[in-house]
């Protein structure tokens, strides 16, 4: 017995748009399966649809994969560039009698389908040129079709779907080369998978029917059959087909528009149809160790943006503070309409440990950081205005302003001084802390008040209190 070949998987997107969230999950599963077995994960760009394929889409797919750390091995294979190889394979089939020339015209095929509709039978090519002498076609244009098996059945032992059997007569003689000599998708996929050494085809279950057609071609060529694993598609939270209203966006939108971290998207996609016990948060290292095809469920997974946001919040809390500053700085700069200075970034870095605990995405993190960097007088949101318009607020903030002007500027000293003002006024700490928070942050909510005061510094904090005390109440 020969040695088992190393595992080779592939991801094969068509460059007609951005990397879709479902495609990203397929790529992730292929990557993890290959890495789990010490194999290779390859990338093929299926750009044979020349009218719809664009370089911008190719770039977007590669960018999305790099962002998610879906690191493929070797250079991407461009399918269109391999067209001569595809044609070569078809002509070998033709010479061996496994394929034939079909001279049926477009009008003939249209009439054939019309008759089949009228008879209420499946629409399939009827094999009219299967056994005819190609000389009968003369110099007319022709396609080359596969001489598919008839009369038996074909069973695929799918690693996810189980054994699936189809009668050979349900499949017609598919076109391999068009009349202009260009290869069809079905042909190109089979040839490329073979030449790339793909051992396991892991893809969406919308390709399951294609597998039987492709397998007939593989058998005609005498090539090894790959193992198949057809993954159920992703549905929306309501169980219907996934669409943009459910959050079915390009991967770039999760990064740019929704402010997600790549490790959060990876973790969420991993759990979208695959599981490992009750584990919710799984690192890439654990995923490589644990991933297997047996863990993929047979039912469609349901995409839930709220759940993804929950996972993202978890990874924000774990993220390195310097990295988060780098990620939110451009967002904050857009909100402030100015570039951030080195001092701004240093202040953000000092406050990030608390800020990230309250955020669920990078946009929220950026928005919650703004109060540190705004120029005086800072704007007040509705909650802050309500707190400062309370009749008792002015006196309490003024009392705190006077007390803080003389204390050591550290959290313990600041808290003691504010407590002293509250005790003197005969009120609870919160009665003083809330209008003070509004004065120095412009909001009713913020990270810990005394940490905020320390980070703002004495002059900035006292200046903001002065601004609040001089403001006109909102009518």
Q: What are the catalytic residues?
A: 244
* 24 vs 292: CA distance, rounded Å: 17
- The 3-state secondary structure of 301-366, one letter per residue: EEECHHHHHHHHHHHHHHCCHHHHHHHHHHHHHHHHCCCCCHHHHHHHHHHHHHHHHHCCCHHHHH
Quickly tell me which residue has 């904050």 as its tokens: 332
Residue of 102, 113, 30, 18 lying closest to 67 (CA atoms): 18
* 13 vs 58: CA distance, rounded Å: 9
Residue of 472, 398, 474, 475 lying closest to 435 (CA atoms): 398
Backbone angles phi, psi at 446, to 5 degrees: -170, 175
Question: Is the separation of the CB atoms in 403 and 421 below 8 Å?
Answer: yes
Residue of 374, 375, 454 lying closest to 411 (CA atoms): 454
Q: What is the dihedral of CA 442, 447, 452, 456, to 10 degrees?
A: -60
Residue of 159, 162, 170, 161 lying closest to 212 (CA atoms): 170
Residue of 30, 25, 12 lying closest to 229 (CA atoms): 30
Question: Is the separation of the CB atoms in 210 and 202 below 8 Å?
Answer: no
Q: Which tokens go with 125? A: 């090519």
């Amino acid at each position: 017995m020969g040695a088992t070949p190393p595992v080779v998987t592939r991801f094969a997107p068509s460059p007609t748009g951005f990397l879709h969230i479902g495609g990203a999950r397929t790529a992730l599963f292929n990557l993890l399966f290959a890495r789990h077995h010490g194999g290779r994960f390859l990338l093929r760009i299926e750009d044979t649809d020349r009218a719809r394929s664009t370089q911008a889409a190719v770039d977007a797919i590669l960018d999305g994969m790099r962002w998610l750390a879906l690191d493929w091995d070797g250079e991407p294979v461009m399918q269109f560039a391999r067209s001569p190889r595809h044609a070569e394979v078809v002509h070998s089939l033709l010479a061996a009698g496994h394929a034939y020339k079909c001279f049926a015209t477009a009008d003939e095929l249209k009439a054939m389908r019309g008759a089949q509709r009228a008879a209420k039978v499946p629409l399939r090519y009827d094999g009219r040129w299967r056994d005819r002498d190609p000389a009968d076609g003369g110099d007319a244009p022709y396609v080359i079709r596969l001489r598919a098996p008839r009369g038996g059945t074909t069973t695929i032992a799918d690693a996810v779907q189980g054994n699936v059997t189809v009668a050979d007569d349900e499949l017609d003689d598919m076109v391999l080369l068009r009349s202009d000599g260009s290869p069809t998708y079905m042909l190109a996929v089979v040839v490329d998978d073979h030449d790339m050494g793909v051992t396991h085809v892991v893809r969406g279950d919308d390709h399951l029917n294609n597998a039987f057609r492709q397998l007939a071609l593989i058998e005609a060529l005498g090539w090894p059959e790959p193992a198949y694993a057809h993954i159920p598609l992703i549905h929306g939270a309501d169980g219907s087909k996934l669409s943009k209203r459910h959050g079915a966006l390009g991967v770039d939108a999760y990064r740019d528009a929704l402010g997600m971290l790549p490790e959060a998207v990876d973790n969420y996609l991993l759990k979208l149809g695959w599981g490992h016990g009750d584990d919710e948060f799984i690192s890439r290292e654990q995923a490589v160790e644990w991933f297997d095809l047996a863990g993929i469920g047979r039912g469609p997974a349901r995409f839930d943006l709220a759940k993804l946001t929950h996972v993202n919040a978890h990874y924000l809390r774990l993220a390195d503070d310097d990295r988060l500053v780098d990620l939110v700085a451009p967002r904050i700069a857009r909100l402030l309409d100015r570039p951030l200075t080195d001092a701004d970034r240093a202040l953000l870095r000092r406050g990030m440990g608390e800020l990230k605990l309250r955020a669920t995405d990078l946009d929220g993190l950026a928005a919650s950081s703004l109060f540190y960097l705004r120029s005086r007088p800072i704007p007040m949101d509705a909650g802050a205005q309500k707190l400062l318009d309370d009749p008792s607020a002015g006196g309490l903030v003024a009392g705190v302003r006077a007390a803080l002007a003389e204390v050591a500027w550290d959290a313990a000293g600041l808290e003691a001084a504010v407590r002293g003002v509250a005790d003197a006024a005969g009120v609870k700490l919160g009665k003083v802390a809330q209008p003070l928070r509004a004065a120095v942050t412009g909001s009713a909510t913020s990270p810990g008040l005394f940490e905020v005061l320390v980070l703002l510094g004495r002059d900035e904090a006292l200046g903001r209190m002065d601004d609040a005390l001089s403001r006109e109440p909102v009518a």
